[in-house]
Amino acid sequence: MSTLIHEPEVVSPDCREESSEDEIRTRIWTVLSSLYPRGAMVERRSENRYPFPYLVRLTPVGPDGLASQGEPVVVVGKHLSERGLGFYHPKPIAHRRMIASLEVSGGSPVALLIDLTWCRFTRHGWYESGGKFLQAIAREALIRGDR
């Protein structure tokens, strides 16, 4: 009786790297396709939203929209549109009206008065909030510390 001995298959490092890259690519597309499913998506907003994964400084203001009222907080942007901003933050925000300072490369920050209109708790323990821009804030007002 003869015994067949199978030699182990020799896999080149390049082949393993390619299969690893394929597996990574497959998993990333699993995530992306769950976030951006194909087909007609009903968009209830009339303006385009743009991904905005940048830090944003929010400074609370009083009901008059003029006087600073509390310590600023830094949040992580999600989406930006001509009318508003969506963002993530780790703690509840007690104020409704705030000045959102958006950094511009090589320039002064753009400051806008925002009315926070919604908030929801995420399953990862953070909050997602958003609001509508009410007015532009003059750069000189930011330097002086008022509106």
Range of the domain at 17: 11-40
* Residue 117: both structure tokens together: 């209109």
DSSP at 19: H
Q: What is the mean pLDDT of the chain?
A: 80
My answer on whether 136 and 64 are in the same domain is: yes
Report the C-alpha gap between 134 and 116 in whole angstroms. 10
Q: Is 58 within 8 Å of 72 (Cβ atoms)? A: yes
My answer on whether 70 and 111 are in the same domain is: yes
The CATH number of the domain holding residue 103 is 2.30.110.10
Model confidence pLDDT, tens digit, residues 48-95: 888 999 999 999 998 777 678 889 999 999 999 999 999 999 999 999
Report the C-alpha gap between 61 and 98 in whole angstroms. 5
Q: Is 89 within 8 Å of 112 (Cβ atoms)? A: no
pTM greater than 0.75: no
Domain count, the chain: 2
Decide if 6 is inside a domain: no
My answer on whether 35 and 61 are in the same domain is: no
Decide if 33 is inside a domain: yes
